[in-house]
Structure 1
Amino acid sequence: MVVAIRADLAQGKGRDVVKGVHGRFRSGQLVAIMGPSGAGKSSLLNAISGYRSVGVTGELLVDGQPRNEQLFQSSSCYITQEDLLQPLLTVREAMDVAVSLKLAKGSVAQADEILQELGLLEHQNTKTDLLSGGQKKR
């Protein structure tokens, strides 16, 4: 099976997460998708697998034909990243819960330090389900 992809993927407020991606995956071939946290690696795999299709534009061909999602899913496997975050909480709310369980009362300054150290302070008002896989891991 040869999978070819040309995709653009928008997330949230119309922001392109993945843009102009081209690739070819051959059966029996090991492929690495690499990039920094937030680069769109998980979003790309979600689009390829059919796990997420809202906001995805472009084409996905399997053996030169448009992908039949049902057939594709029966001949492939995709294991998503595990995350244990509550999807309706913001990063700040999730951190506040963690701080209240693990640190002394009134540890707001420590929560700010932790978010800063993790590179998440600028995302503190973002719902956790909108974070990249790498951001969720942090």
Structure 2
Amino acid sequence: MMSTTIAAPRTPHSAPRRKGPNLEKWGWMYMRVSGVLLVVLIFGHLFVNLLTGDGIHQIDFAFVAGKLASPFWQWWDFLMLTLAMIHGANGMRTIVNDYVTHGGTRRTLVWAIWIVSVFLIVLGTLVVFTFDPCLGVTPDSVLWDRCQ
């Protein structure tokens, strides 16, 4: 008869440790830190857009153009966009790692998630920092007088 002993719960695992940075740990830490920052950024965004001034009735093209003319709001929106996209992509990566069993499919999906995320961050950054409300304004537009 063979007896089996169970190791004490605090006994170190005998598998060799990988060298290099623990990316899963850093991803886990990023999710916590970015989550807290995103709560502050999003509630600040909602407060300014919905609770100050005329509330929801103030939001129109001119309101957005005015906000995006300010470097403060440009950086606020850029930080919110970047943190949210990386936070979401990291969450999707975790889901793919948990549920996709085939290694090649998993790698393809994770690469696709990061490529799409980088593309959207670049596109959003271009919009935030290069927004010009006068681009393409014609004489029959309501913005014609303001853009002259």
Classify the TM-score, shorter chain: under 0.3
> Normalised by the size of structure 2, how large is the TM-score?
0.24
Q: Greater helix share, 1 or 2? A: 2
If you compute each CA radius of gyration, which structure gives the higher value, 1 or 2? 2
Q: Whose relative contact order is higher, 1 or 2, with alpha carbons under 8 Å and at least 6 apart?
A: 1
**Structure with more of its chain in strand, by fraction:** 1
Question: Normalising to structure 1: TM-score of the pair?
Answer: 0.26
